[in-house]
Amino acid sequence: MPPSLPIHTCLRAASRPATTTLLTTTRALSTTAPTLYKQPRVPGSDIPIPSVTAPLPEIPPYPYGPRPFYHQSNTGLYGAARIRFGNNVSERNEIKTRRKWRPNVHHKRLWSASLGVFVRTRVTTRVLRTIDKAGGLDEYLLGRKPQRVKDLGPWGWRLRWRIMQTPALQERFALERAALGLPPKEEGTEILPDGTVAGDALMADTDRMLAEEAEFGLEAEDAEDGFMREETKPRQ
């Protein structure tokens, strides 16, 4: 006769939860590259603050192009700062150790009076000091000297274009033109004698000539005398 187990041992074994083996599948993780700055919405305007790297055809190209060195400066207000290289020289035995100096960069929220919001950007302490001396972010971006335009970089150029689209800046430019005695700037409103707009008439003529596969050339009365005349080679 086989030995019997005590009753309390059987009850204890029955009360234990049954262990089961679960097969867990590995979940595929997919990540997207985060944006550099999450900008707030501009109140009362449908034009957002432009992206740092996204192609925007409505913005004029930066006249100096992207910076070929220290590419991080293309996405912030770095001025002319870049990584500098040098040596640490020992005073005892004059041993040189190679080292580098990086710009002092901070993430800041700078107030824009024309946009009415804080603009998030990376900025160096030297540029931050220049912004304070200029009177704010808007005045720094609107600098007209060539060196200021070089210091803006591609990101500063985009911010400059954005604040120039605000009604406050448009009114300011209109007052400056009036003070200089210039007429108000109205793009595409030159009326021709036939009642059409100059820009629209030119586009209509161009589309018509392209549809008819006509050649673009000068009329006989528009061409100057001697136009495209071959000149003889001077004798030496």
The verdict on residue 46 lying in a domain is no
Task: List the domain range (segments joined by +) for residue 134.
Answer: 71-184
Tokens of 178: 């009036």
Structurally, how many domains does the chain consist of?
A: 1
The pLDDT value given to residue 183 = 86
CA gap 209, 212 in Å, rounded: 5
The verdict on residue 87 lying in a domain is yes
The verdict on residue 16 lying in a domain is no
The pLDDT value given to residue 71 = 93
Asked if 110 and 137 count as a contact pair (C-beta separation under 8 A), the reply is yes
Q: Outline where 164-213 has alpha helix (H).
A: 167-179, 198-211
Closest CA to 157 of 40, 50, 57: 50
pLDDT per position in the chain (236 positions), as tens? 555 655 555 555 556 655 555 555 565 555 545 557 788 899 888 889 999 888 888 999 999 999 999 999 999 999 999 999 999 999 988 899 999 999 999 999 999 999 999 999 999 999 999 999 999 999 999 999 999 999 999 999 999 999 999 999 999 999 998 998 888 877 644 444 444 455 566 667 667 766 676 555 544 444 455 545 666 766 76
Q: For residue 149, how many C-alpha atoms fall within 13 Å in the half-sphere facing its CB? A: 9
CA gap 181, 113 in Å, rounded: 27
The verdict on residue 26 lying in a domain is no
The verdict on residue 135 lying in a domain is yes
The pLDDT value given to residue 147 = 94
H-run or E-run covering 163: helix 146-163
Secondary structure E strands in the chain: 84-89, 96-101, 105-112, 117-124
The pLDDT value given to residue 44 = 87
The verdict on residue 178 lying in a domain is yes
Kindly report the CATH number assigned to the domain that includes residue 131: 2.30.170.40
The verdict on residue 146 lying in a domain is yes
The verdict on residue 111 lying in a domain is yes
